[in-house]
Chains A and B, each alone.
Chain A
Amino acid sequence: MSDTNLTPAPIDWMALLPIIGVTATGVIAMIIEMIRPRQTNNAIVWCCLIGLGVSAYFVLANWSRPAEETFGGLFMNDRFGQVTQLLLIGVAFITVLFSEGYLREKRVPFGEYYPLVLWSTVGGMIMVATRDLLILFLGLEVLSIALYVLAGLKSGEKRSQEAALKYFLLGAFASGFMLYGIALIYGATGTTHVTGIGELYALRETLVDRYPFNVLYAGIGMVTVGFAFKAALVPFHMWTPDVYHGAPTSVTGFMAAGSKIAAFAALIRFLDGAMDLSSVWLPVLTVLAVLTMFLGNLVALVQRDAKRILAYSSIAHAGYLLVAVIAYSKAQGMFDVEIGYGTVIYYLLAYGAMTLGSFAVLSLTARGGREGTLLEDFHGLWRRAPFPAAMMLIFMASLAGVPLTGGFVGKLLIFKDAIAVDMLWLALVLAVNSVISVFYYLRIVLAIVVREPDLHPTRFAAVNPGLFAACGICGFLLIWIAVAVDPFMKWISPPEQHAIELRESPPESSVE
């Protein structure tokens, strides 16, 4: 590992290109912000969209390469990382697409918004593509610090300030926990790489009996607490509704989708490393999943504010995702069950599309610097903006799990996985919660489609092409992944599995 000669190990720059691409786009956008004419942000928006497209192309250029670690084990280039990076780039793309109109109506037309969104995305992309805990922490901080600023973007508005402060204090608190956990894991194993945990476990027979595995357990526990904060799992969720409510709506959408994708992908990477100890942490995660699903759904029932309803719904969806993660982890220890990360990725994509899309539609109530987010404020939306309202129906149907939508197929996949690993009761909890959730999604649908404004008609912002496109893309994605489940799952599965399937398929074709 550490040769005394000073030639560094060869670095695979190709694998890093997506991250470099997004970072550089952010820098260019910042420069345009400084030299542009003051009226519009259009040049910045176009620059960001093109840069994100190019970065997505870079990800696809790495697509068929074998999984390997570069940068001395700091950067993992595999299909899982590539797919999640692609998801994050997509989330940033759609956020940039619908933000401009909203920011102008909200009277915060700051060009700095776009570089911050991109750099936050970079943090997420680093998180999902590393198995080194220290780099993971670094990525998490890059993701979060940009989001703290974005949450307080409308600095004159008290709600926005309050959201920024709450998010900042609780986020920093959580990263303190995570960091201390990393320090303990490092102390037990001597490395910050997650594979060290498995290697230490493999040596357990040869160790003197007093070796402090407790240090390792404590470390894993504290890192999990850090993740639970980021992914908004009960009982570490209390910041979520307040921050989602107070932050500007486009930021909320980005935060809800992007930060959850990054947190869950990184959580899987971490748990993969700690898989040998799964008998310790699986019961804890199971309890968290049940609490998260029930609390998210039950509290959402009594909310009156559309953004808060969606915030609690996002907590509930974190619970569903955790069930998928538990099924995936449990299957690793069973000989007869094979469950890949496909379900988690599928649900993350569906969740990202429906959450981002619904926040895009909610952003329509911002007008002239004011924004009402109570359910009453959405009365009559479908008359004023039929297309976004129609898309909102798809998003709500998908969130509630109505058949023929991505959300339904995702829940079905999780349900099947949970049954496959003998956790029927957990699958039933998921199903019950899914039914509960229909009620509050129905209230949003009623507010938008059925109810008429009573006294003063609400004035909505004009639908701009960006928002139109963002809703359209999200709606199309949700239907498309529901129809084309198998091709999609095959596309995201690692190339090794492809090879096996290809080897198996020729006999079949010869029979035909």
Chain B
Amino acid sequence: MEGIPLAAYLSLGAVMFAIGALGVVIRRNPIVIFMCIELMLNAANLTFLAFARYHETPLSRIIDPNDTYMTGQMAVIFVMAVAAAEVAIGLGIIMAIFRSREEIDVDKLNLLRG
């Protein structure tokens, strides 16, 4: 592989994941939190793809490199499908809350505590 090294992709993935995780912790709007979660999932996707493209591991003697190559790409399709299902459910829940309260700030959702 010429050009961009594996480390560049992995660093981008790690930074995206960190931004996403930080966003979940500090943001208060559920939709933004949800966007941050999507960012985390996509960081994982990018990591999968980068590893799939540069598929030399010490186990390459045991595992067929083509299998390694396919696994990473397949994983991304799976994750995209899962993320789409999560969007459908998540936005449904947020809509239900907005309809009955007219606001969705997570700090104001504090009926349950103790």
Contacts and interface: CB of A to CB of B under 8 A. Distances in A.
B18 to A, nearest CB: 10
Contacts of B68: 190-191
A188 B44 contact: no
Contacts of A250: none
Interface residues of A, number: 54
A298 interface: no
Contacts of B47: 180, 183-184, 187
A110 interface: no
Contact of A196 (B40, B43, B63, B74): B63
B111 to A, nearest CB: 6
B59 interface: yes
A246 B92 CA distance: 18
A196 B108 CA distance: 46
A303 interface: yes
Contacts of A245: 112
Given A203-B59, A207-B58, A169 B17 contact: no
Interface residues of B, number: 55
Contacts of B44: 176, 179-180, 182-183
A84 interface: no
Chain B interface, DSSP helix/strand/loop, else mixed:
helix
B78 A152 contact: no
A177 B20 CA distance: 11
A166 interface: yes
Contacts of A207: 58
In the complex, which of the residues B10, B13, B86 has the most CB atoms of chain A within 10 Å of its own CB atom? Answer: B86
B68 to A, nearest CB: 4
Interface in A147-188: 148-149, 152, 155-156, 158-159, 161-166, 168-169, 172-173, 175-177, 179-180, 182-184, 186-188
A180 B30 contact: no
Contacts of A141: 82, 85-86
Nearest to A299: B114
Interface in A196-219: 196, 199-200, 203, 206-207, 211
A148 B59 contact: no
Given A149-B89, A158-B100, A186 B63 contact: no
Contacts of A172: 34, 37, 86, 90
A372 B33 CA distance: 32
B41 A186 contact: no
A2 B64 CA distance: 7
A192 B100 contact: no
A104 interface: no
Contact of A186 (B40, B71, B90, B106): B71
A287 interface: no
Interface in B69-112: 71-72, 74-75, 78-79, 82, 85-86, 89-90, 92-94, 96-97, 100-101, 106, 109, 111-112
A188 to B, nearest CB: 7
A297 B27 CA distance: 31
Contact of B90 (A168, A191, A192): A168
B37 to A, nearest CB: 5
A162 B109 CA distance: 6
A330 interface: no
Contacts of B48: 183, 186
A305 interface: yes
A165 B94 contact: yes
Contacts of A137: 78-79, 82
B75 A186 contact: yes
Interface of B: 10, 13, 17, 20-21, 24, 30, 33-34, 37, 40-41, 43-45, 47-48, 50-51, 55, 57-60, 62-68, 71-72, 74-75, 78-79, 82, 85-86, 89-90, 92-94, 96-97, 100-101, 106, 109, 111-114
7 contacts: A1-B63, A180-B43, A186-B71, A190-B51, A191-B63, A305-B114, A308-B114
